[in-house]
Amino acid sequence: MQAVSFPGPGCVEIVDIPRPSLIEPSDAIVLVTTAAIGPWDIERFESIGSEQVVPGGEFAGIIVEIGSEVRTVELDDLVCNTAHLVNRKGHSRVFGTTSVAGGHAEYVRVPNADAALVKISDSVEERVVLAGGTIGLGINAAAVALQEDSGASYAVVGCDPIGVSALIGIKNSGHNDNLIAVDDHAARRTLAGKYAEEAYSGSDDLANATSDIVMVGAMCDFNRPDLIAQLVKPDGTIVFAEPYGPSRIVTAGTNLPEGVKIMAASWPNKDDVRKIVSAIQIRQLDLTPIVSHVIPLDEALDAYKAASGPE
């Protein structure tokens, strides 16, 4: 089968590799019909060359093989996945890494299919493919922020698709009166302005824009720990949409205001994905602005260049 490979940093090629087969009775094989490019894929695209990996943390497709112990999905079901996977032994993995191949290929093996796959309708496929990763992380970050303080002032730093999803989550809750967004790219600020009260550039004077809670989108898209520290109030909270975000700000050695709490969203699980799929189907959640390009597999390099950020 054909799959995406990274022969070097910033390079993409289509290679022929063996089609996956069932290994465990809890596995399913999915014929991939749609896939998304998440920040974890972009980081690998920009940085690796020798590591053999099939990227693609988020995908949708049709089940073509199924293990004997799978109960919640069936052959020929159209499904999307959770980007984060916990197998039956409790090991945590993410699709599109060295531990489990991703969906930027014609077929993908899904371990623990009952926990990782959600049935969907073909009418929403190109949007719900993001539910198990990008959108779910943003929505979960908003949920953490609201649970921390539903009457706070909020900022979102980084208006990539994860950051915009956090903006949507806050706006849909009805608490966007004290919501700002920060990104250096004009088109992203314009989109963010549809959900936030104000949208700023990182070079603007933000002295009067400090917030109780600062949510952070994809770190690879807008890596500004200094700006995060500038925006959060003393005794405030930083919520990383990416579960591994807190370790990065600690590694950066950023000095934060006194009393700041650091939190992170959790990876979306199957129940989270179902809620997002349902919200999209009843038009409670509109993700159309986030789905910017639909590009065939054989033009994967163009897709990665588009996804890796505005020029």
- Two tokens, residue 255: 């000095």
Domain that holds residue 54: 2-133+287-307
The answer to whether residues 139 and 124 belong to one domain is: no
pLDDT at 51: 63
Phi, psi of 65 (to 5 degrees): -145, 150
CA–CA gap between residue 25 and residue 36 (Å, rounded): 27
| Contact predicate 107/1, CB 8 Å | yes
CB atoms within 10 A of CB 292: 11
The answer to whether residues 26 and 58 belong to one domain is: yes
The answer to whether residues 143 and 259 belong to one domain is: yes
The answer to whether residues 101 and 7 belong to one domain is: yes
The answer to whether residues 125 and 57 belong to one domain is: yes
254: left (phi over 0), alpha (psi -120 to 50) or beta: beta
Q: 155 forms bridges with which residues in the sheet?
A: 180, 214
CB atoms within 10 A of CB 221: 23
The pTM score is: 0.93
Whether residue 271 lies inside any domain: the answer is no
pLDDT tens track, the chain, 311 positions: 999 999 888 889 999 999 999 999 999 999 999 999 998 899 889 887 656 789 999 999 999 999 999 999 999 999 999 999 987 777 789 999 888 999 999 999 999 999 999 999 988 888 899 999 999 999 999 999 999 998 999 999 999 999 999 999 999 999 888 999 999 999 999 999 999 999 999 999 998 889 999 999 998 888 889 999 999 999 999 999 999 888 877 766 788 999 999 999 999 999 999 999 999 999 888 888 887 778 888 888 889 988 886 65
The answer to whether residues 210 and 226 belong to one domain is: yes
Number of domains in the chain: 2
Q: At 16, is the secondary structure helix, strand, or coil?
A: strand
CA–CA gap between residue 29 and residue 169 (Å, rounded): 32
Q: Which amino acid does the sequence have at 205?
A: D
| Contact predicate 78/62, CB 8 Å | yes
The answer to whether residues 226 and 139 belong to one domain is: yes
Within the chain, how many helices (H) and strands (E) appear? Answer: 10, 15
The answer to whether residues 19 and 117 belong to one domain is: yes
The answer to whether residues 126 and 10 belong to one domain is: yes
Whether residue 274 lies inside any domain: the answer is no
pLDDT at 252: 67
Whether residue 123 lies inside any domain: the answer is yes
Residue at token pair 């009457």: 151
The answer to whether residues 109 and 231 belong to one domain is: no
pLDDT at 66: 98
Whether residue 228 lies inside any domain: the answer is yes
Q: What is the CATH number of the domain that holds 118?
A: 3.90.180.10
Angle made by CA atoms 272, 273, 278, in degrees to the nearest 5: 100
Q: At 92, is the secondary structure helix, strand, or coil?
A: strand
CA–CA gap between residue 43 and residue 304 (Å, rounded): 11
Q: What is the CATH number of the domain that holds 237?
A: 3.40.50.720
Whether residue 142 lies inside any domain: the answer is yes
pLDDT at 309: 67
Phi, psi of 213 (to 5 degrees): -130, 125
CB atoms within 10 A of CB 79: 23
Whether residue 182 lies inside any domain: the answer is yes
pLDDT at 49: 61
Whether residue 158 lies inside any domain: the answer is yes
The answer to whether residues 95 and 148 belong to one domain is: no
The answer to whether residues 144 and 260 belong to one domain is: yes
Residue at token pair 């588009």: 306
Distance of CA 27 to the CA centre of its chain: 23
Whether residue 272 lies inside any domain: the answer is no
119: left (phi over 0), alpha (psi -120 to 50) or beta: beta
- Two tokens, residue 222: 């807008």
